[in-house]
Amino acid sequence: MSEARSVPATVLAAGTQPDPVAAATDVPHKAMLEVAGQPLVNRVIDALQQAQRVSDVVVVTAPDSPVQQILPAGVAWTESSGESFVDTITAGLDYHTGHEHTLLATCDLALLTAEAVDHFVAEALDSGAELCYSMVRAERAELLYGTEDHVVVRLRDGSFIGGNLALLSRDFIRREGQRLKTAYAGRKNPIRLARMLGSRFIWRYITGRLAVADIVERAGQILGCQAMVVDSPYAEIGFDLDKPEHIAIAQRHLQEQ
C-alpha cells in the first residue's frame, strides 16, 4: 500500500430521467428516499466523510434540484451544466480545483461503508491508473444481499457484478472526455456496444474465455487511457438501489446492524 493519500469525492445525483424507485415511492429524486430513517444520498455522504482516504465531498445535482435541500449542514453541492454523465463528472472536477483525482460514488449506495471506500481508494491510487473501476465477486454479493436482481458477468476468473465506485484523473477527462461520453451513451445499445467491443471480444465472452485482464485492456483501448479494475472484498459497493424491490433488502440489512 502507498502512503495514506486522500482524494476528494463526487456524489452523482444529477439524474433527471424517470426512475422506477422514485416513481414507486413518490419522491422527487431517488437520492431523497429515506431508508432506515435517512435519505439515501446522506448515507453515502456519511460513509465518504468517515473514510480516511476522502478529503472532501461534493454532491452534483441537476439545476435547482430538491436534493440540494435535504443535504446535511456543511455539505457542498454544485450543479451539472449538462445532462450527460461526463457533464456530471466535470462539475465535480471543476468544484475540486487543484486535485488530480476524484472518487465517484452513486447516490444510491444504501449499504456503503467507510472501510469499503478506503480499500477501493487505496487500491486505485496504488494502481497508477487514470481510470479505475470497482467490481465484486458474485459469491460475496450473494452472501450479503443476493444477485438475482443484478447483472452477473461470468468470466474465466469467476463471476462478478459491477461496483459503484470509480476513481479517475482530471487529465483523462480533459483528454478523453468526448470518447468517454460516446462509450457511455452506447452502453445499452446492443449494436453500438458490439461495434465498440468487437466480435472477437464478444465471442471470447460467449465461449467463457474472457478474463478480467482482457476487459481492462479493451477498456483502455476504447477510452484511450490506462485502466484498472479493483476486485473489492466489500460487497456493499455493488448494491445500488435501482429497483423498488431493493428497498426492503436495504431496510432489513440496515436494521440488523
pLDDT in tens, 182-218: 888 776 676 777 888 899 999 999 999 999 999 999 9
Question: Could you tell me which of 18, 11, 1 has the C-alpha nearest to residue 39?
Answer: 11
Judging by DSSP bridges, how do beta strands 131-137 and 158-169 pair with one another? antiparallel
**Nearest partner of 110 among 190, 166, 41, judged by Cα:** 41
DSSP state of 186: T
Question: Tell me: the pLDDT tens digits for 95-111?
Answer: 999 899 999 999 999 99
Residues 158-181 have a mean pLDDT of: 93
Alpha carbon distance 56, 44 (integer Å): 13
3-class DSSP state of 160: strand
Alpha-helical (H) ranges within 18-169 are: 20-25, 40-50, 85-95, 114-127, 138-144
Mean pLDDT of 148-161: 90
88: left (phi over 0), alpha (psi -120 to 50) or beta: alpha
CA angle 95, 100, 104 (to 5 degrees): 65
Q: What is the pLDDT of residue 3?
A: 56
CATH code: domain 7-136+162-175+226-256 is 3.90.550.10
